[in-house]
Amino acid sequence: MQRFIENMPKAELHVHIEGTLEPELSFALAKKNKVELSYETPEALISAYDFNDLPSFLTIYYAGMNVLIEEDDFYQLTYDYLNKARSQEILYVEIFFDPQAHTVRGVSFDTVITGIHKAQIDAERELGIKSQLIMCFLRDMSAESAMQHLLLATPHLDWLIGVGLDSDERNNPPSKFYDVFSEAKKLGLKLTMHCDVNQKNTLVHIKQCINEVKVDRIDHGINALESEALCKLIKENKLGLTVCPVSNQFVVQSLTSDEIHQMLEKDILVTINSDDPAYFRAYLNENLIKLQKEGSFSQDQIVTMVENSFKVAWLDDEIKGNYLNKLKRYVSEYKQ
C-alpha cells in the first residue's frame, strides 16, 4: 500500500507555500539576510515546534517567515517545494500564499508574487510539475487590507487562479470578507475559504461560505458532518473539501479518519492534502500513508480521494481528463 501511494500520480490542493519553509532553508536565508534566529540548529528549531490549536501554530508560522525578504527567497522556497512535491509523484499543485504576512514586514507584494511565479514557470519547464497560485487573505486583518491586496494583485491577475481566506478564524467569519470575495469573483477568480476544524461558530461559517460567499471549494470543513443540511448543500454544490489529516491531528489528536470515512460514504468530494508540511513534518505521501493506516482505507478509497483532487482542481476539463486517465492507467497497471 505504501508503494502504491508513493508512486501514484497525485494533486495537492491545500498547501501554504510559507508552510513549506524547511528549517535548513530557514537557516540558510537567515544567514544570507542577517536575520537572527532564536535557535542554534535546524534540529533545535524543529524541536521547538509545539502546537495544539490554530493560534499556537500561527504564532510559530508567522515568526518563521521573517527570513523571507528578497524575490530570490520566495523563488527558492517555491522551487524547493515543487521539487519535493514532484519527488512524491505530485503532478499538479494549487499553492496558497499569504501576501499580507510579508507586506506588514515591509516586503513588497511584487517581490513576493514575482519570486513565486518565476519558480512556478521554471519548475513546470524543468521538473514537469504544473502549479497555479491562490492568494489568501488573512482573516484576522481588516477587510480593507484584503481589498487593498486584491488591488495590488490586479496587474498580475494572470498569475492567479483564485483567492482564499486563512489565519485565525475566531471572530473572523466569512461574511466579514463578502465584498472582497465578490470583487474577486467579478475579476474571474475562483473562491475558497478555510473552515478549520473545531472553530467557534464553525457551522455558521460553513453555511456563510456556501450560501453567501458562494465559494467554489472549502478548505478543511470537517465539522460540516455535524449537520445533515450542510452535507446536502456541499453535495448539491459539488464542493470539494480539502482535508489535511496530519494538520488536524495537532488539534483533535486524530487524523480524522472516521470523518473521512463518513465523507466517502456520503459521496462528498473529499481530498487529502498537507497544509503546512514543513511544520507538521508530513508532505502529501506521509499524509496519505498515515491516514490509510489509521483508518484502514482500501486501495479503491485512496484512489477515489486522489481522483477527487483532480476532479475539483481548478483546471479545464481536457487537462483534468488527462490527469484522470494517467491515474486510471497507473491503477490498472498496478493491479495486474
Binding site for ligand ADE (CB under 6 A): 16, 19, 54, 61, 166-167, 194, 196, 247, 275-276
Query: Which residue lies nearer to Zn ion by CB, 90 or 303?
Result: 90
Q: Which position's Cβ is nearest ligand ADE?
A: 166
Query: Which residue lies nearer to ligand ADE by CB, 153 or 278?
Result: 278
Question: Is 216 a residue that touches Zn ion (CB under 5 A)?
Answer: no
Residue 94 interacts, among ligand ADE, Zn ion, none and using kind-specific CB cut-offs from 5 to 8 Å, with: none
For Zn ion, the binding residue among 71, 259, 275, 307 (CB under 5 A) is 275
Question: Is 98 a residue that touches Zn ion (CB under 5 A)?
Answer: no
Q: What's the min distance (Å) between Cβ of 48 and Zn ion?
A: 21
Question: Is 196 a residue that touches Zn ion (CB under 5 A)?
Answer: no
Residue 221 interacts, among Zn ion, ligand ADE, none and using kind-specific CB cut-offs from 5 to 8 Å, with: none
Q: What's the min distance (Å) between Cβ of 275 and ligand ADE?
A: 5
Q: What's the min distance (Å) between Cβ of 173 and ligand ADE?
A: 14
Residue 256 interacts, among Zn ion, ligand ADE, none and using kind-specific CB cut-offs from 5 to 8 Å, with: none
Query: Which residue lies nearer to Zn ion by CB, 94 or 275?
Result: 275
Residue with cell 510579508: 102
Q: What's the min distance (Å) between Cβ of 23 and ligand ADE?
A: 17
Question: Is 12 a residue that touches Zn ion (CB under 5 A)?
Answer: no
Q: What's the min distance (Å) between Cβ of 219 and Zn ion?
A: 5
Query: Which residue lies nearer to ligand ADE by CB, 123 or 197?
Result: 197
Contacts to Zn ion by CB under 5 A? 275
